[in-house]
């Protein structure tokens, strides 16, 4: 059976991708940001999920004002990096998991979440920067260490979904994953934020106190966060702070009780507060390689044992 084992929250600041791509990670400004993800890379290498569901928003790369799906699930076999105006990022093509993605699409739609199914899509920094932060730099001819199911959320054009709707979609995704018979360990990412505003008179706004309270509640009392209206995100966390509703999809897909295994927060990175959190479900399946055998395998083992005993 498939299972969501952990959630990762991570900002997806485009300048982080540019720093990586242009070899600037050792500069003191960027070193401060990247050093906060060293432990996360170790955690990811140890966790070795089979699939990551990455909740992110498209920044007018795959979609435009011509087409604005509220929730768009990537069901393709692969998702090339998008050209965001200066050529595609030099990162590997993202490989999907069409079977699990189709299963999730069917389950959540029958659960009354009318998501858009996307069978062809390019992915931008919103998805690839968090992958880099958790997996390190990868050349285009390498592979990401797990399959990825992109879930694009509209937080660019009004109206974005409410935090409560996002949280409930997370719960529907959890139910969908847990009803998949394939033996898969899944990690879910919520990306974007934290507080930032990139234009207008309040450009450069950062509200660390509000961000940190959000992170505290994400672990301990996510339902409280589901009651935050759009206007409060805008007022307290800036116009682009609304991206934080995507973290509630990740949180909704986890168990009620989670262990916060890591947190990192730094300001600024390109006028944005960088936030990061790793939450693990307390009920974890056995470690890889030590997983209990399937019922069929167990039956075969019992038969072998019985035959061996009868020969003694």
Catalytic residues: 125, 196
Dihedral sign computed on CA atoms, order 33, 39, 40, 44? positive
Which residue's CB is nearer to Fe ion, number 2 or number 33? Answer: 33
Closest distance to Fe ion from the beta carbon of 192 (Å): 5
- Distance of alpha carbon 95 from alpha carbon 80, whole angstroms: 9
Contact pattern for Fe ion over residues 181 through 200, marking x by CB under 5 A:
-----------x--------
8 Å CB contact between 202 and 286: no
- Tokens representing 178 are 């847990």
For the window 145-184, what string marks contact with Fe ion as x by the rule CB under 5 A? ----------------------------------------
CB of 116 to Fe ion, least distance (A): 19
CB of 28 to Fe ion, least distance (A): 25
**Toward Fe ion, which CB reaches closer, 125 or 165?**
125
Copy the structure tokens of residue 142: 């390498």
How many residues bind Fe ion (CB under 5 A)? The answer is 1
β pairing state of 78-79 and 51-56: unpaired
* Contact map string, positions 206 to 235, toward Fe ion, x by CB under 5 A: ------------------------------
Question: Nearer Cβ to Fe ion, position 160 or 252?
Answer: 160
Indicate the residue among 100 and 274 with the shorter CB distance to Fe ion. Answer: 274
Nearest approach in angstroms of CB 37 to Fe ion is: 18
Q: What are phi and psi of 3, to 5 degrees?
A: -150, 135
Judged by CB under 5 A, the chain residues 93 through 132 that form the site for Fe ion are none
At 107, list the tokens: 């389950």
Q: Smallest distance from the beta carbon of 59 to Fe ion, in angstroms? A: 6
Which residue lies nearer to Fe ion by CB, 192 or 241? Answer: 192
Using alpha carbons, select from 294, 290, 258 the residue that is nearest to residue 48: 290
Looking at residues 59 to 98 of the shown chain, list those that interact with Fe ion (rule: CB under 5 A).
Answer: none
Candidates 95, 88, 78, 93; CA nearest to 141 is 93
Q: Smaller CB distance to Fe ion: residue 96 or 130?
A: 130
Coil/strand/helix, residue 33: helix
**By the 8 A CB rule, do 107 and 154 touch?**
no
> Where are the strands (E) in the chain, listed by range?
3-10, 51-56, 71-74, 78-79, 94-95, 116-118, 147-153, 185-191, 258-269, 272-281
- Contact set with Fe ion (CB under 5 A): 192
């Amino acid at each position: 059976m498939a299972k969501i084992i952990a959630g990762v929250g991570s900002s997806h600041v485009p300048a982080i991708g540019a720093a990586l791509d242009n070899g600037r990670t050792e500069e003191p400004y960027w070193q401060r940001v990247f050093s906060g993800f060293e432990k996360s890379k170790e955690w990811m290498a140890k966790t070795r999920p089979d699939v990551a569901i990455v909740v992110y928003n498209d920044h007018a790369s795959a979609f435009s004002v011509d087409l604005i799906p509220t929730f768009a699930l990537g069901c393709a076999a692969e998702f090339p990096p998008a050209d965001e105006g200066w050529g595609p990022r030099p990162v590997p093509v993202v490989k999907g998991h069409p079977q699990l993605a189709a299963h999730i699409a069917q389950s959540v739609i029958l659960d009354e979440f009318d998501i858009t199914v996307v069978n062809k899509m390019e992915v931008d920094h919103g998805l690839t920067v968090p992958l880099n932060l958790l997996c390190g730099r990868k050349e285009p001819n390498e592979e990401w260490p797990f399959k990825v199911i992109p879930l694009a959320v509209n937080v660019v054009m009004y109206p974005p979904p409410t935090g409560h709707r996002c949280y409930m979609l997370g719960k529907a995704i959890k139910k969908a994953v847990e009803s998949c018979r394939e033996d898969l360990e899944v990690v879910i990412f919520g990306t974007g934020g934290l507080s930032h505003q990139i234009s207008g008179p309040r450009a450069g706004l950062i509200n660390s106190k509000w961000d940190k309270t959000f992170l505290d509640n994400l672990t301990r009392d996510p339902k409280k966060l589901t009651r935050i209206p759009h206007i409060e995100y805008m007022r307290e966390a800036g116009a682009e702070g609304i991206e934080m509703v995507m973290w509630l999809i990740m949180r909704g897909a986890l168990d009620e009780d989670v262990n916060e295994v890591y947190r990192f927060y730094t300001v600024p990175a390109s006028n944005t507060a960088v936030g990061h959190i790793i939450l693990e479900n307390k009920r974890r399946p056995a470690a890889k390689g030590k997983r209990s055998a399937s019922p069929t395998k167990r039956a075969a083992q019992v038969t072998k044992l019985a035959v061996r005993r009868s020969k003694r």
